[in-house]
Amino acid sequence: MSGLGELDRPGTPESPGAWDERSEEWIAEGAEAREPGRVAEDASAGARGGREGREKGEASARARAGDDARGGAAAPARRQPSAPRRTAADPVKALMHRHRELCERAVDPLEIAAGLEAHGVTDRTAARFRHRDVFSLAEEMFARAARDEEAVPTPAAAPALQARTGWALLTLLPGALGTATAAGLRLTHGQARAFVAVAGVLAVALALRAALSRGPLSASDRTASGPAPHAPSTRIWTYWLLAYAALGDGLLRAAVAGGPDALPTGAADGPWPLATAPVLALAWACAPAAWCAHLFAVRARRRLAASRGLEEFADSVRPLLLGTFALHLCALAALLALCATVLGENAAYAQTVTLGALLLLARMLTTHGFTHAPAIVLTAAATAEATALVTVFAGRLPGCGFLATPVETLVGAWGPGSVPALVCGAAALTLLVHAARTLTRASAHATADRPC
Amino acid sequence: MDNRPSRHRLVRIRSSRCEPSGQRRLPKREIGGARVRIGLLTEGGYPYVSGDARLWCDRLVRGLGQHEFDIYALSRSERQEDEGWVPLPRQVGRVRTAPLWAAEEDGVVYGRRARRRFDECYGELAGVLSRGSAADAYGVSEETSAAEADRFSSALYGLAELARDEGGLVGALRSERAVRALERACRAPGALQTAREARVPDLLAVAAHLERALRPLSLDWYEDGGLDEVDLCHATSGGPAALPGLLAHHFSGVPLLLTEYGVRLRSHYLASTDAPPAVRSLLAAFHGRLATEIYTRAAVITPGNAHARRWQERCGADRAKLRTVYPGMDASHFAEVGESTECADPDTLVWVGRVEPAKDLVSLLHAFAEVRKEEPKTRLRIVGTPVGAEGEAYLGHCRSLAAQLFPDEAEGLHSVGDNPVCFEEIGGPELPTLADAYAAGAVTVLSSVVEGFPISLVEAMFCGRATVSTDVGAVVEVIGGTGLVVPPRNPRALAEACVAMLRDPERRERLGAAARARALELFTVEQNTTAFHGIYLEIVSHTPVRRVVLDDTGEPLPFAAPAEAHVPGRWTDANARVVARGGPGWAAGAPGTPGAPGAPGTPVRATASESAVEGAR
């Protein structure tokens, strides 16, 4: 700011020569008023040549000063208008006008200095603005710049609709293949049924993998540096939980009754019955799960862009998380009812819905970069189910009958579905509490980092 | 007054007489051919094939075969890593690389104490950043800004120590704790207005950027035979490359030499333009503070030109540490052209460079039109390749402008005409090499509006050509008095200078010879290499690294480093007031009185000791 008063002082020759277009214009406008000066300038420049051209500014200023003296004597009336114009011209103001975007945007003087230098302003240019160097010129510009404090940058436009169709179709694949497998199991017998079962399980597993590799359920955008450390164990326990949903209840019922006497035949009415409906419903539930995760991610990101504080963001995201979760449960229940009706089995709501909830929460946490808790909870749930089965069989050993008592009591009271329902329910509740704390953090929704 | 035990004094004197203490450490290294082990720190540069400034680093490493180089390279992208390395000479002892573009979390979960340490350090860091950079501290007093700088450095080193002791810094910097600390700092009283307006996405962006910028803190380079064993660290650029050097200095006292051909802070300002103001102000504060810290801790800083030097001075570099070392260029290609006396064409102007709008070829064409009014026989050859799509478009624009301004002309009625302005590229049949391009004309013209270090001007100087250039960037510094300089965007002045040159062959010759002499003096590879050789030896002798030397059995070798090796300061200057690096502040004492005798950081008054020794004899 030091230069301000000096700059407004009347009568100071400000622009020594035609160094840039502004002074060029100025000279051009006043050309007829200072014709002799131009001649003198040309002559001096022509005579002195190039290297000395650096000093040309001063030279022409001197020439013009002489011209002013002569012109003042010759035509005082014509010189008069140029004087106030000179004083009114605040060269820094003109410079600021030219670089106004830079000045408005700058967060500190060095940014203006860098920008000015990128536009070719050097210390010698700055000297014309009565500044020692570009830095002090930039400081003055920064201090004088009218920064619009209220200007809130428009939040970055939401990412354009990406290839949504890709993942949307992929999430339908497990359900479709599961349906085909279920139909195949219904239509075949004996060895062919075994083949169909194996092929169907493989196909569904691959389809599931494909569905989880893209879209909102994929973990790729967060853990780009490599596979998550807990991925294999999580995957294995997930398949175990699904397998239990298909075969576990039948096995437990048979075990309590003293069986099983034969391997599962794939039929729903055998000695070790196969529950197709829950697994099929869960396979179809990939689609609503993906949409729910997508909805949650998009909405959360939108709230992130709009929120000013971390607490505010957490408060606004928590109901969103619960709402999305409830939506998925409803969708899963509807799918289960549909599958059970079509397949003619009874819908095991409790265990299937809790399992679906558990898997969705585990996947959403993994997607947002929290792999530790899902791995532990899934392991715990799968171990608990396995333990329930093992205790029943262990109870048959002499002297160990007490081991089977809790599970048998449970099965006797609420049926075999109560064991997975309790286990998955507890696990899902744990994860829900965890998710309500972690998924409402802003850092969970940080987009892929962009360089800046 | 000076009541130190005489035993110590004797030892000190003996040391000062025989050799620089820096080379005492390893007896097998001899003084004359002192070998220095240099940790060369690069970021996205040498030894990668696509690295920046790899040519310079390669020449440096090859030119200083008597030293050992350990290269510590940070790669900038996966592609760069895949492209491989340039062949490395024998003197490169080891190469350690780390990716800056990917950081894997090591899965370390902090305990309570580590969490508290992290919160403290990161909170401090965020607190300093939210108060803005050192650059715009107008009314702030010296003490306050020094205290802020101190807070920044203690926070930075605190985080580095945390990373060294516990690991897991990458995860912590990405975590919610970091974001929360940033939010607290931005809402705290005293924060900048722009920082106060930070929204949650801004905080996340800042946290992510800080995590990326602080990745060198998590490297395992600082112990167990890494940077702690080198004699000096040479950072080839500021910013991330200098950060490992800074930490090596902090952990092991290794001196840091910083070479900046382009100022890193400036390129940061130019690069980050589309982020919200809150993000930019916090990041500008971070990079500004980091640059200041690096400049403060570096033993010697070598800017590549006066422009970089001004920025460094502005950011707090001590003038005493600055030594301008101009980039070196291989002069051998231009020797033939430079030494030959005859000139190809006395009426030809040549422009050589990359075609882009900043070169202002339009102004050159207008100037050439003026030249043609005075000297109708003159021709202009524009030699260069366009850069990018913008360059292509600009070249097309210039071609059409040239066609409009200058009609084709021929010798007589019966010969085929030609345009006085021709656009060419290196490698064609007429101009097989760069030197031929300069040889083709009597005068080399540079018409840029913006210029960093004008390489084409240096090449023209090597070729012994008279030059007319615009006064931009480092042009005046490079050209000295050996060419004509005119203001930028002033075709008339450019034309007049060109005409003056064209009309005066003697002057042209004189200036050309002077230019070649100047270039050979200042801008050769040898000059560059020799300068760094001298700086290495100077640093090693002035700031020796103190470390325990182990004998063959791995036991610490007693008296391996003589006691006098620990005495810093100038031996000849009676009034030197120097404190040991990292030494206690009270050791400095008041000027004029010697400090406490036992303190390792006290200055030695050589004259007093000398007389005492003689008295003892």
pLDDT in tens, A177-211: 988 988 888 888 778 888 888 898 899 889 888 88
Euclidean distance between CA atoms B57 and B53, whole angstroms: 6
* Three-state secondary-structure class, residue B74: strand
Choose among B364, B372, B434, B444: nearest CA to B399.
Answer: B364
Do A17 and A108 sit in the same domain of this protein? no
Structure tokens at A267: 């039929």
Q: What is the pLDDT of residue B507?
A: 92
pTM of the model: 0.75
**pLDDT exceeding 90 applies to what percent of chain A?**
8
- Closest approach of A134 to chain B, Cα-based (Å): 10
Instruction: Give the residue on A whose Cα is nearest the Cα of B109.
Output: A372
Q: Using an 8 Å Cβ cutoff, are A373 and A442 in contact?
A: no
* pLDDT digit string, tens, across residues A88-109: 468 888 888 888 888 888 888 8
DSSP 8-state secondary structure symbol assigned to residue B470: E
The yes-or-no verdict on residue A379 having pLDDT over 80 is yes
Domain for residue A450, yes or no? no
Euclidean distance between CA atoms A420 and A441, whole angstroms: 31
* Chain A residues with CB-CB distance to B212 below 8 A: 449, 451
Q: What is the pLDDT of residue B395?
A: 92
The yes-or-no verdict on residue B272 having pLDDT over 60 is yes
- Closest approach of B395 to chain A, Cα-based (Å): 20
Do A348 and A309 sit in the same domain of this protein? yes
Chain-chain contact of B471 with A123 (C-beta, under 8 angstroms): no
Provide the residue type at B602 as one letter: T
Provide the residue type at B200 as one letter: V
Do A390 and A263 sit in the same domain of this protein? yes
| Cβ within 8 Å of A, B 175-194 | 175-176, 178-180, 183, 187, 193-194
Do A70 and A203 sit in the same domain of this protein? no
Q: What is the pLDDT of residue B51?
A: 78
Domain for residue A158, yes or no? no
Do A316 and A270 sit in the same domain of this protein? yes
Domain for residue A159, yes or no? no
Euclidean distance between CA atoms A264 and A268, whole angstroms: 9
* Chain A residues with CB-CB distance to B485 below 8 A: 50-51, 53-54
* Three-state secondary-structure class, residue B303: strand
* pLDDT digit string, tens, across residues B586-608: 444 444 433 333 333 333 333 33
Euclidean distance between CA atoms B301 and A210, whole angstroms: 55
Whether the CB of B489 is below 8 Å from some CB of chain A: the reply is yes
Structure tokens at B145: 């800004």
Q: Give A285 or B616, the one with higher predicted confidence.
A: A285
Choose among B592, B616, B613, B551: nearest CA to B17.
Answer: B613
* Three-state secondary-structure class, residue B75: strand
Q: Mean of the pLDDT values across residues A61-84?
A: 41
Q: Give per-residue burial for A386-424: e unless 16+ CB within 10 Å, then b.
A: eebbebbeebeeeeeeebbeebbebbeeebbbbbbbbbb
Which residues is B350 bridged to in the sheet? B381, B444
The yes-or-no verdict on residue B50 having pLDDT over 90 is no
Do A193 and A248 sit in the same domain of this protein? yes
The yes-or-no verdict on residue B496 having pLDDT over 90 is yes
The yes-or-no verdict on residue B564 having pLDDT over 80 is no
Q: Using an 8 Å Cβ cutoff, are A99 and A116 in contact?
A: yes
* Chain B residues with CB-CB distance to A139 below 8 A: 136
- Closest approach of A424 to chain B, Cα-based (Å): 27
Q: Tokens 């050439």 identify what position?
A: B368
Q: Using an 8 Å Cβ cutoff, are B315 and B292 in contact?
A: yes
Q: Mean of the pLDDT values across residues A103-124?
A: 85
Among A15, A56, A104, A110, pick the best mutation site for testing chain B contact (most B Cβ within 10 A): A110
* pLDDT digit string, tens, across residues A218-231: 775 554 444 455 66
Do A70 and A103 sit in the same domain of this protein? no
CATH number for B332-523: choose from 3.30.930.10, 3.10.20.30, 3.40.640.10, 3.40.50.2000: 3.40.50.2000
Euclidean distance between CA atoms B366 and B495, whole angstroms: 8
* pLDDT digit string, tens, across residues B53-82: 788 888 888 888 888 888 898 888 888 888
Do A296 and A425 sit in the same domain of this protein? yes
* pLDDT digit string, tens, across residues A257-307: 777 766 666 666 666 777 888 888 888 888 889 889 888 888 888 888 888
* Chain B residues with CB-CB distance to A49 below 8 A: 484, 496-497, 500
Do A351 and A397 sit in the same domain of this protein? yes
ipTM above 0.85, yes or no: no
Domain for residue A171, yes or no? yes
Euclidean distance between CA atoms B33 and B68, whole angstroms: 12
DSSP 8-state secondary structure symbol assigned to residue B486: E
pLDDT band at A68 (very low <50, low <70, confident <90, very high): very low
Q: Using an 8 Å Cβ cutoff, are A280 and A179 in contact?
A: yes
* The domain boundary residue, chosen from A127, A150, A173: A150
The yes-or-no verdict on residue B167 having pLDDT over 60 is yes
Query: According to the 3-state scheme, what is the secondary structure of B522-578?
Result: HCEHHHHHHHHHHHHHHHHHHCCCCCCCECCCCCECCCCCCHHHHCCCCCCCCCCCC
**pLDDT exceeding 90 applies to what percent of chain B?**
24
Residue B421, φ and ψ in degrees, nearest 5: -105, 125
* pLDDT digit string, tens, across residues B338-385: 887 666 678 899 999 889 888 889 999 999 999 999 988 899 999 988
Q: What is the pLDDT of residue B498?
A: 93
Domain for residue A157, yes or no? no
Chain-chain contact of B487 with A57 (C-beta, under 8 angstroms): yes
Euclidean distance between CA atoms A434 and A429, whole angstroms: 9
The yes-or-no verdict on residue B321 having pLDDT over 70 is yes
State the total domains in chain A: 3
pLDDT band at A15 (very low <50, low <70, confident <90, very high): very low
Domain for residue A179, yes or no? yes
* pLDDT digit string, tens, across residues A408-437: 888 888 878 888 888 899 999 999 999 888
pLDDT band at B415 (very low <50, low <70, confident <90, very high): confident
Do A141 and A243 sit in the same domain of this protein? no
- Closest approach of A13 to chain B, Cα-based (Å): 19
Whether the CB of B208 is below 8 Å from some CB of chain A: the reply is yes
Q: What is the pLDDT of residue B514?
A: 93
Do A295 and A252 sit in the same domain of this protein? yes
* The domain boundary residue, chosen from A107, A127, A150: A150
Do A234 and A182 sit in the same domain of this protein? yes
Structure tokens at B585: 């502040």
DSSP, residue by residue, A74-106 = H-HHHHTTHHHHHHH--HHHHHHHHTHHHHHH-
| Residues of the domain holding A103 | 90-150
Euclidean distance between CA atoms B188 and B428, whole angstroms: 64
